[in-house]
Amino acid sequence: MKAVNLKTEHLVNPIGIDISEPYLSWNCLGGKKQTAYEIEAVSEGQVIWNSGKVISDKMNEIFGVPVASKQRISWRVRLWDETDTEGEWSEEAFFEMGILDRKQFVAKWINPELTCDPQVHKPASYLKTSFSVEKTGNARLYITCHGLYEAYINGSRVGNFVLAPGTYTYDKKLAYQTYDVTELVKEGQNEVQVILGDGWYRSCSGVDGDRNLYGEDVALYFQLEIDGKVVCISDENWLASQHGPIRENDMQQGEVIDATMEEVSGYHEVKIENFGVENLACSNCAPIAEMERFEGKIIKTPNGETVIDYGQNLAGYVEFTINAHAGDEIILTHGESLDENGNFTAENFQDRKRHKEGGTKQQVIYTCKEGENHYKSKFTIWGFRYAKVETTADLSAAKFTSIAVYSKMEQLGTFECSNADVNQLVKNSIWSQKSNFCDVPTDCPTRERAAWTGDMGVFVETGIFLEDCYPVIRKWLGECRLNQHDDGKVANIAPKNNHPSFFSGLLAGSVGWGDACIIVPYALYQRYGDKRVLEENYEMMQKWYHFLEERAKQKPVNPIKRLKRNPYRRYTIETGIDYGEWCEPDVESTNAMRTPQGKVATAYFAQSGKLLAEIAAILGRDEDAANYRKTAEQAKKAFRHIATEDGKIISDRQAEYVRAISFDLLTEEEKQQAAADLNELVVKNGYHLNTGFLSTPSLCPVLAQFGYVETAYKLLLQDTMPSWLYAVKKGATTIWENWDGINEKGEVKASLNHYSYGAITGWLFAGVCGIQLKEGKITIQPTPHKSLQYAKATYQSPVGEIISGWKYEGDKVIYEVEIPSNAEAEVILQDGRREVLAAGSYQL
């Protein structure tokens, strides 16, 4: 038996972390059962920790000795199997600490701009310096900025992190990166160049197009060390210029490039700034990276425009090579779709009246030099599949490529079945997740690029099936903590992407959205078993739930509700502003009050209280657990009082039934009746859903759980609107924000790249193929139906690869199951068979 997939803090060989007690994890390969493990850690050639033989089957451990600032530690694991046979040592993994002692930050903040007009878009700044070393060694660069940076040493790019340092609540936390630059530094004279762009710090942001959210400056912090000795820092000896090829740069609007200015000129002194280092921290997250590439195909649209089709909607930017004459101009405008006439459009994601610059441009304006021109975006990112080209240059030999840009995540899950449209739906879900996991999980890569709480709340369980996104979500939860209001409300968007308004402050109290601060950490813990994610966020959860408790104490404004007898008034939330179910078909979302808010709010009050009670118990806070459990039970009674007639739901909205059942707000008998009524509603609706944002992920699971498997499958396979496969039939390569993102006439609206409705993919893994993992326990409970001839899912889970599939041979179902080493699974089949299987491959 051998340990594989070694990770530190859920990351592979991270450089520059500042978690003082790193979490080590691994999987097992070979053998049935791990009975013991031993970890050995080495630093500077010396063994600094050996755990000894630990009798345990757990595949994780907290690092056993204190770590030091900048320390690099290699570690390995060996295992003993069920026969107590000692296995070989694993391959070595490593991690390296960042700067843990703030006194070791010795560089100075430097501002390259001598003057700054905050009202205009500005050129990128080019900074340079040089340093000399007599002898090379282990070289490390610690670097961050206000804005975005690209760093070069002796002409070679430092690292592959793009859009660095990432997005943060910069006034409270700003990440610096640690790079191993040993191979870039040479003996003698060394040249350094850093390019700074506007980034999240001061670009247009969100649907409002607000700029300068965190400041009007750009600035650099640069500290290079060799064997721990500082050899180069950002200081007054650097020079800077704004006379380079990047004439404008904006995350949302794009870039203006003049290739005739590629030789940077006009260098001048820099300004020293006193920004301090108190907000500097390691990201402890995956880097943003250039990932998949797609070659563009030039097409002519009916109106005569030249358009590039890259074939895949994504978030990223472009690269092109073209031969041209000096002064030729190329304008590329990027969008997600063609319109109803087959022409280019970017209008679907515009709010031109609201946006302070009249709309989201997503544009490159490139002035050519003579001969071959090569361009690749640096300081911008868009959502697009198409690009409209405006130019007089010859495109016959030009090459255009789109580059997907997102946090570097390994794909964990695969799903395949006999229905090609369902397979495409899964691919679309994966692409919408990739497109919206650029350092934090956002709603869309075009109009808003906002890290909404509600979106993550409904998608988290699906997201961790599809991609190795734990570090990204964990980082985002940290941003939620930083942005929580003093009264406990949770900012709907974290980090902020606009100037908060009075109304956005009110909506920060919206249930379903704020409850993500409980739902998301709970889901991560259930899947990964790392309770630190609960500890890190427990105070935020408590403050949010206290806010809900205070809401429940408020008397309803409606005089009829005030007079109506309610023995559970103290546990009923009937005041405040909520988004409600949101985006229900045939319900106007902007008028959220059309959805019964008291029912939604009280349901979440009960559900979050139940989850928080479980969390408190896990953390050993028994008194808290008892209090939250009591409140949740009373809120459950309150919900039943206001939302049912003696336990029966009376509504034509499917969400009312789904929420009550999935949150366990009814008795078992009442749930059976509610499920039957829900099934009848779906059938009467022609097997179409009418759930909205919050409840859609649970619709098929609830139906299948209560025996309405055929209805669940008919919903899944429905291809007329509203349905998941309608978009697939329309040629979608991502998940749309609205069910009718492109209507039957071909008219386009809203974002075409929102992951939220892709949460149905989670049911394909957990329901159709039945893979469930909770606190280390695997359950395989597939739900086959003849609507599909076969289905198979693989999942690279925290405990190893799990495979579950089934196929029909006549009326007989053949099951295929694979359980990873050091695990067992309870397998529950539709025909009533139930057994516990050890590690291995099985056909049942």
Q: Under DSSP, is residue 271 helix (H, G, I), strand (E, B) or coil? A: strand
Percentage, residues of the chain above pLDDT 90: 95
Tell me what the mean pLDDT of segment 796-808 comes to.
98
One-letter amino acid at 223 equals Q
What residues contact 183, with CB distance under 8 A and at least 6 apart?
none
| Secondary structure (H, E, C), 592-634 | HHHCCHHHHHHHHHHHHHHHHHHHHHHCCCHHHHHHHHHHHHH
pLDDT tens digits for range 436-475: 999 999 999 999 999 999 999 999 999 999 999 999 999 9
Report the distance separating Cα 734 and Cα 750, nearest Å: 13
Lowest mean per-residue pLDDT among 96-110, 234-248, 353-367, 501-515: 501-515
| Residue 103 CA neighbour count, 13 Å, CB half | 0
CB 350 within 8 A of CB 220: no
If pLDDT is split at 50, 70 and 90, which confidence band does 583 have? Answer: confident
Report the distance separating Cα 746 and Cα 730, nearest Å: 9
Sheet order of strands, 188-197 included: 156-157, 148-153, 188-197, 125-133, 239-241, 268-269
Beta partners for 248? 256
User: Whose structure tokens read 């229900």?
Assistant: 584
Task: Centre a 10 Å sphere on the Cβ of residue 141 and count the other Cβ atoms it contains.
Answer: 23
Res 5 pLDDT > 80: yes
Residue 85 buriedness (CB in 10 A; 0-12 / 13-18 / 19+): exposed
pLDDT tens digits for range 167-199: 999 999 999 999 999 999 999 999 999 999 999
User: Whose structure tokens read 């300004």?
Assistant: 271
Report the distance separating Cα 786 and Cα 784, nearest Å: 7
CB 737 within 8 A of CB 751: yes
Q: Under DSSP, is residue 561 helix (H, G, I), strand (E, B) or coil? A: helix
Task: Centre a 10 Å sphere on the Cβ of residue 438 and count the other Cβ atoms it contains.
Answer: 25
Angle at CA 546, nearest 5°, toward 540 and 552?
145
Res 158 pLDDT > 80: yes
pLDDT given for residue 84 in this prediction = 96
Mean pLDDT of all residues belonging to the chain: 96
pLDDT given for residue 593 in this prediction = 42
For the chain, state the CA radius of gyration: 28
- Tokens matching residue 746: 């071909």
Helix%, strand%, coil% for the chain, nearest 5? 25, 35, 40
Q: What's the farthest any 2 CA atoms get from each other in the chain?
A: 85
**Length in residues, the chain:** 844
If pLDDT is split at 50, 70 and 90, which confidence band does 314 have? Answer: very high
Q: What values do phi and psi take at 300, rounded to 5? A: -105, 130
Number of H helices and E strands in the chain, helices first, is 16, 43
- Tokens matching residue 756: 């939220």
* Peptide bond between residue 14 and the one before it cis (omega within 30 degrees of 0): no
Q: Say which DSSP state 211 is in.
A: -
Q: What DSSP string runs through 471-537?
A: HHHHHHHHHHHHT--TTS---SBSS--S---HHHHHHTT-TTTTTHHHHHHHHHHHHH--THHHHHH
Report the distance separating Cα 194 and Cα 110, nearest Å: 12
pLDDT tens digits for range 56-96: 999 999 999 999 999 999 999 999 999 999 999 999 999 99
Report the distance separating Cα 787 and Cα 790, nearest Å: 9
- Tokens matching residue 174: 């700003």
Question: Is the C-alpha dihedral spanning 725, 728, 733, 737 positive or negative?
Answer: negative
Tell me what the mean pLDDT of segment 149-163 comes to.
98
If pLDDT is split at 50, 70 and 90, which confidence band does 53 have? Answer: very high
- Tokens matching residue 799: 């405990």
pLDDT given for residue 586 in this prediction = 83
pLDDT given for residue 594 in this prediction = 42
Alpha carbon of residue 698 to chain centroid: 20
CA distances from residue 176 to 144, 165, 222 in whole angstroms, order as listed: 5, 6, 9
* Spatial CA neighbour of 765 closest among 738, 797, 734: 797
Res 500 pLDDT > 80: yes
* Peptide bond between residue 495 and the one before it cis (omega within 30 degrees of 0): yes
Q: What values do phi and psi take at 231, rounded to 5? A: -120, -15
Determine if the pTM surpasses 0.85.
Answer: yes
pLDDT tens digits for range 627-662: 999 999 999 999 999 999 999 999 999 999 999 999
Residue 166 buriedness (CB in 10 A; 0-12 / 13-18 / 19+): buried
Residue 151 buriedness (CB in 10 A; 0-12 / 13-18 / 19+): buried
Res 582 pLDDT > 60: yes
Beta partners for 388? 307, 333
pLDDT tens digits for range 507-550: 899 999 999 999 999 999 999 999 999 999 999 999 999 999 99
- Tokens matching residue 800: 């190893």
pLDDT given for residue 689 in this prediction = 97
If pLDDT is split at 50, 70 and 90, which confidence band does 562 have? Answer: low
pLDDT given for residue 595 in this prediction = 46
If pLDDT is split at 50, 70 and 90, which confidence band does 503 have? Answer: confident
Res 284 pLDDT > 80: yes
pLDDT tens digits for range 119-131: 999 999 999 999 9
User: Whose structure tokens read 């601060």?
Assistant: 517
* Spatial CA neighbour of 646 closest among 673, 627, 621: 673
Please report which helix (H) or strand (E) contains residue 459, including its range: helix 453-466
- Tokens matching residue 61: 């451990």
One-letter amino acid at 578 equals D
Q: Under DSSP, is residue 458 helix (H, G, I), strand (E, B) or coil? A: helix
